[in-house]
Amino acid sequence: MLNALRTKIFADGADLDTILRLARDPRLKGFTTNPSLMWKAGLTDYAEFAERLLSEITDRPVSFEVFADDATEMRRQARRIADWGDNVYVKIPVSTTSGETTAPLVRELSLGGVKLNVTALMTVRQVTETAAALDGGAPSIVSVFAGRIADAGVDPLPIMREALEILRPVPQAELLWASPREVLNLVQASEIGCHIITMTHDLLPKLDSLGKDLEQFSLETVQMFHRDAVSAGFTL
């Protein structure tokens, strides 16, 4: 079933050993990171991590995020990150922490040839503004956090469908379904024609359940419960 899906899968994480192991999986078409994941992984040297990763992964896109909070420093960091490799996409948040749009910087960098991954979008307005900023620029990714939209109790599918339509006149920009919560999101992304989905390292193993016979899945679940109860030595 996985081969029939149209959406490319990118692995999302910051554990170097895991990323390099996953890089051997032909199902994965790219990789993304972010400062939060890197902090949780205990990383302290951003450039060293990137250098080691990019020395092994040269044939698929890898996204690294700036961590500055003003346009001047974002610009400097973005240009430095872009120099790390031809397969590097620079992640720029859709706004600063005070809510100021980064669209002018996105426009400048994209027209200057920097491949961008504009991240943390959640509204149609943000997609519209970002599409205009990327129009005519370098290859780019627009990351809409569908999983977080769903966490707010809002159905992300209408937003993702509209985002695809907004990006249609910007052919070098791909829509990325970010923060999925379950394998079903991959199926949903494929059904609407979303270009990319990210999946965290703990979600990727669940791909093996895709298309599984539900009767068999039910039996395996019953067997798991029984096996774990026996292993625990429970008595009544």
Q: What is the set of active-site residues?
A: 91
Question: Is 219 in contact with 201 (CB distance < 8 Å)?
Answer: no
Kindly give, in sequence order, each residue whose CB lies less than 8 Å from that of residue 70, ignoring residues fewer than 6 positions away.
96
- Residues 103 and 109: their CA atoms lie apart, in Å, by 10
**End-to-end CA, the chain:** 44
CB 56, CB 24: distance < 8 Å:
no
Give burial (CB, 10 Å; 0-12/13-18/19+) of 189: buried
What gap in Å lies between CA 57 and CA 46, rounded to an integer? 16
8 Å CB contact between 109 and 75: yes
Q: Which amino acid is at 28?
A: L
Amino acid at the residue 57: I
